[in-house]
Amino acid sequence: MHDVYIYDAIRAPRAKAKADGGLSDLTPHALLQQLYAALLNRADIQGDQLHEFVNEVILGCVTQQGEQAGNVAKSSLLYAGLPYQIAGTTVTRYCSSGLDAINLAALKIAGGQAGGMIAGGVEMMSRHPMLSDGARIFSDPKFAIACQILMMGSGADLIASLNNITRAQADHIAYTSQQRAEHARVSGYNKSIIAIENPVKKITVSEDECIRANTTEASLGEMKPAFADLGAKGVDAYQLAAKPQLSKIDHIHTAGNSPAMADCAALVLLGNKALGEVLGKKPRAKIIAAAVIDDDPLQVLGGCISATEKLLHDNNLTTSDIDLFELHEAFAATMVKAQSVLNIPSDKLNVNGGVIALGHPMGATGSIMMGVLIDELERRNCKRGVVATSGAAGSGTALLVERV
């Protein structure tokens, strides 16, 4: 088995998934083209020579519809004019896709199938909104229940109900996320961001757009529950039948303590030791271990907790052995439960904010989080970190990395 190193991790700014968002005029291919160019420039690789260093690109993308359909990993390589010899694979494991792309790339390097890989993700939600692919599991309620697949907000409210998590606790998580994200933005902590040109709006997008710095816990407390109506249409009854210990579902999640939709893409350059020697480039981190496991599908979003538990257990580690945790802030209740179950101190968890504040471009989020973690490990001169993501149906993936 070969050691697997991360040589670089970059991303676009996370833009509002709206027509006035800074990236909304760009196709996924046009956005990725700028990121490929930036990654090659940083690694000092000529585009027409990329196939000599990289065997394959693996990208996560959840809504593989329209411009994002047809294997966007491969088609974006060709669109960018990169060598045809490089393979391209697009994967979906719901919102865990971007981290699973990194894990799959790492497995190919570890097994000797590849010496260098690019992994990451893309999701342009202003152009392809969540559920626009018309998947039956999200459009046919009877079929969804047969598959035990519920909407994410319903799962988050179930997590809150099962763990006695209050609205005040959820709003505090959201407020903290906003404050930390804004602090990181103004302090210049986001070193992995690449400025993106939007020729249609004639602007350069260089900062995350979704942060709502003026949010207060009082303003969050005024928001109405977002998923109570869905519960009244039969979801609550189904959840209560499956969880007889509950007498009711507490609908504590609102637009304010739920993830914001966003446009973004991210790329991570991975390779064996020989890749760094050839490029004359020192690795930024080493992938030590990974864990993939699913949680209760009715709770939908607990996968990041279960995967982190498994990762720590399998490697004989405790929370105190980890310097920083970057866990998918998939609705506020998930984070309250994560802190309780994993005993993670607040000053180790999502220290620069999470997707409630920063936005959640589904297929790209996991790969973005990897860059955020490595940036912060370097800034703090820390050694070891965990990235973990949740996706629909209880999906969970966690990676353990160490700075080199």
Catalytic positions, written as ranges: 95, 360
Q: What are the Cα distances from residue 193, in Å, to 189, 206, 236, 375?
A: 10, 7, 41, 10
CB 296, CB 243: distance < 8 Å: no
Q: Looking up tokens 């942060």, which residue turns up?
A: 211
Q: Which residues of 28-46 are buried (b: 16+ CB within 10 A; e: fewer)?
A: bbbbbbbbbebbbeebebe
Q: What are the Cα distances from residue 180, in Å, to 39, 68, 214?
A: 27, 32, 12
Helix (H, G, I), strand (E, B) or coil at 121: strand
CB 192, CB 9: distance < 8 Å: yes
Question: Residues 6 or more apart from 244 whose CB is under 8 A from it?
Answer: none
The identity of residue 57, as a single letter, is: V
Helix (H, G, I), strand (E, B) or coil at 213: coil
The residue among 62, 114, 45, 44 whose CA lies nearest residue 86 is 114
Interhelix angle 28-43/72-79, nearest 10 degrees: 70
Distance CA 242, CA 250 (A): 15
The identity of residue 44, as a single letter, is: D
Q: What is the DSSP secondary structure assignment for residue 124, as one 8-state letter?
A: E
Cβ atoms within 10 Å, residue 212: 16
